[in-house]
Amino acid sequence: MNILFRLLLAFNATSLLVIIFVVQKGYSLGYFFPILCPYLDGVANYISYLVYLLVPVLLTWLSVILCPYLGKDEFKSGSIVSIEHANNSFLPSYLGYFFVALSIGGWEALFFVYGVLFVFTFLSQALYFNPLFLLFRFEFYNIVTKDGAAVFLISRNRYKLPSDVAIDKAYRINDYTFIEKD
C-alpha cells in the first residue's frame, strides 16, 4: 500500500506541470474528446480547465482518505527540539514547474520532462510537498526530533513551538515524511 500511496502522491505533486501545459496550449476537453465538442461550444475552455484542476484535487483528497492505511508512528510531547513552518519554502520549486511547463513545445517533450520529474519526485524519498494539500487546510513543517532525525510533517494543526507537537497518530509516508490527519 505504501508504494501505491507514494505513487499517488508523486503524481499529485507533479500533475500541475501537465495542467499548465494543456492550458497554455489551449487544449480543451474537446481536443481529447471530440465527441463532446457540440455540447461544450462557448464554454469549453472554462469547463475544461475546471475539470483539469479537479482531477489532481480529487486525487489529493483520495490520498488524504487513504492515510489510515499507512504505517503509524507517534511524536510524544517533548520529543521535538525544533519546528519550522515550511509552506513557503517550496514555492520556488512550483514556480519552476510553471516556467518549465510554459516552455515545453510539444507532447514528446512533455512526456519526457514529466517522466523525469515524476521519477525524481518518487525516488527522492524525501518530501512529498503537494501545494494542493493547502486546499485541504494542511500545513507543512520541518521538524527535528530529540534523536536528531529531521522529518517533514504534513498536518492540519498549527504548530508554533516544539513543545506544541504531541501527535498520537502520524502516518508514515516514508522514513522522512509523515502526515497527521485529524
116-135 tens-digit pLDDT: 988 988 887 655 667 888 89
Angle, CA 21 vertex, CA 110 and CA 66 arms, to 5°? 85
Domain count, the chain: 1
pLDDT at residue number 125: 60
Say whether pLDDT at 62 is over 90.
yes
> Under the phi-then-psi rule, with left for phi > 0, alpha for psi from -120 to 50, and beta for the rest, what region is 137?
left
Count of C-beta atoms within a 10 Å radius of residue 106: 9
Q: What is the pLDDT of residues 9-33, one digit of tens each?
A: 888 888 888 998 999 898 888 788 8
Q: What is the pTM of this model?
A: 0.83
The whole domain housing 30 covers 2-180
Strands 150-155 and 177-180 turn out to be parallel
Residue 35 CB: number of other CB atoms within 10 A?
7
Name every residue whose Cβ is closer than 8 Å to that of residue 20 and which is 6 or more positions away in sequence.
97, 98, 101, 102
Question: Is residue 38's pLDDT more than 80?
Answer: no
How far is residue 134's CA from residue 87's CA, in Å, rounded to a whole number?
Answer: 9
pLDDT classification of 146: cutoffs 50, 70, 90: very high
As given in the structure block, the three cell numbers for residue 33 are 474528446
Angle between helices 91-103 and 2-25 (to 10 degrees): 50
